Amino acid sequence: MDITVATWNTEWRTPASGAGPRIAATLAAPGFDFIVVTEGVRELLPEQGYTVDAGADWGYPLKPSRRKVIVWSRYPLTEDFVGVEGATLGRLAVATAIGEDGPIRIIGVCIPWRDAHVHTGRGNAHSWSEHLDYLDHLERILPALGNDIPTVIAGDFNQRIPRKGQPQTVADRLREVLADWTIHTCGELPNGPHIDHIATNQHIGLQAVSDWSASDHLGRLSDHAGVACRLVSVGCPRQPTGPVPLLGNPLPQSEPLGNSQQKLSGTPALDHDGHEIETAGALIPELRAEIESILRASGDGLSHGATFRLHEQGLRVDEIADRRGVSLGATRNFLRSLDALLSGTLPTSTSAALTNSYVYRELLNHARSDELDRYVDAQLRRLKSINPEVSFAPLRTRTHQYRVGERKHQ
């Protein structure tokens, strides 16, 4: 599989507007296989292709030609479903295309902005409440879709990644919901900042990312810059070795932690002065055994240790989440971090690097051998080379941040 996916919020431009024909020319550029347009009209999309949209009603006065989400495909497209509940109404479209190498699922999203329905629309919301409600629904929808085919989430996330401007609790919630996904448009791009993003499940990898400006030599095109990713297959879906777990558990019940197949790129990690970081070598069995002993001995307030112990008892992800009283997204996040920890693998995206650093920082609360201390320090330095926000301080109790139904307000 080799596809190019683009997404752009076109700010309701039409063919009759000054910017409309220029936007249409950008979207018609050769090479796009899938386009997710948000706040757009069908008439700006290429004529040759197939479309699915999320509907005309998202709780504001109806304007028949406008759509919050339109999915365009070069290949025949079948609508799976559209959002009808809560904040997903008119803002979520899921469709499957049959490409040259098989089926591809596209999830088009337009996550509400901070003040959706606060002063306009229904007028009964408060800042970020619609955004968080959308993420709550998305957290339930994504596992129900299954994870058997290559899947892309694209559209207007209404968040900068890494966080800038939005409350920490809002950024954390997005990271929880997409814990099993890789967001390829994080960080600085030439024409950013960006709040439109493209994410994929584990069956798809990134070959290249590009973006374009919100304006051209003739003036403003939109209030958003656009992004595109060239994506490739990273292998066939892995078949579970035991019973298929409920609610999208990324680690089958019978599969031990530490079997991650994701490897760090062979490119050496560099510090901020451009010097290669010295590592403490591979994760040898003795170090892994020491890490497992620490996880078994850690208190319940340290989330990775508590999750590890329940996983060792054979509990599924939904059972672990219920037992600990935390969200499914956070539990999946802990399991993926544990899998990376116990296999010695590292991510390549900035958001995943920050998330993975937490499990190493939990280890710093415990007595450990000099060899393990050097190994943990080297891994944290590598993670910091990917995301400068990574800290070397011991991580204290985090459970309260993930309680179901509770959020910190800033």
Q: b/e map of 62-88 (b: 16 or more CB within 10 Å)? A: eeeebbbbbbbbbbebeeeebbeeebb
Can you list the residues of the chain whose pLDDT is less than 50?
236-255, 259-280, 398-410
Confidence (pLDDT) at 42 = 96
Tell me if 287 sits within 8 A of 375, measured CB to CB: yes
Separation CA 132–CA 162 (nearest Å):
18
Tell me if 242 sits within 8 A of 213, measured CB to CB: no
CATH 3.60.10.10 placement within the chain: 2-233
Q: SS3 of 37, please?
A: strand
Confidence (pLDDT) at 14 = 96
User: Looking at 54-195, which runs of residues are DSSP E strands?
Assistant: 67-73, 77-82, 92-99, 102-110, 151-156, 182-183
Ordered alpha helix ranges (H), 74-128: none
Query: CATH class for domain 2-233?
Result: alpha beta
Residue 215 pairs in a beta bridge with 220
HSE-CB at 9 with a 13 A cutoff on CA atoms is: 21
Confidence (pLDDT) at 253 = 34
Name residue, tokens 């080297």.
378
Residue 153 pairs in a beta bridge with 107, 199
Choose among 369, 345, 195, 391: nearest CA to 293. 369
Global pTM reads 0.61
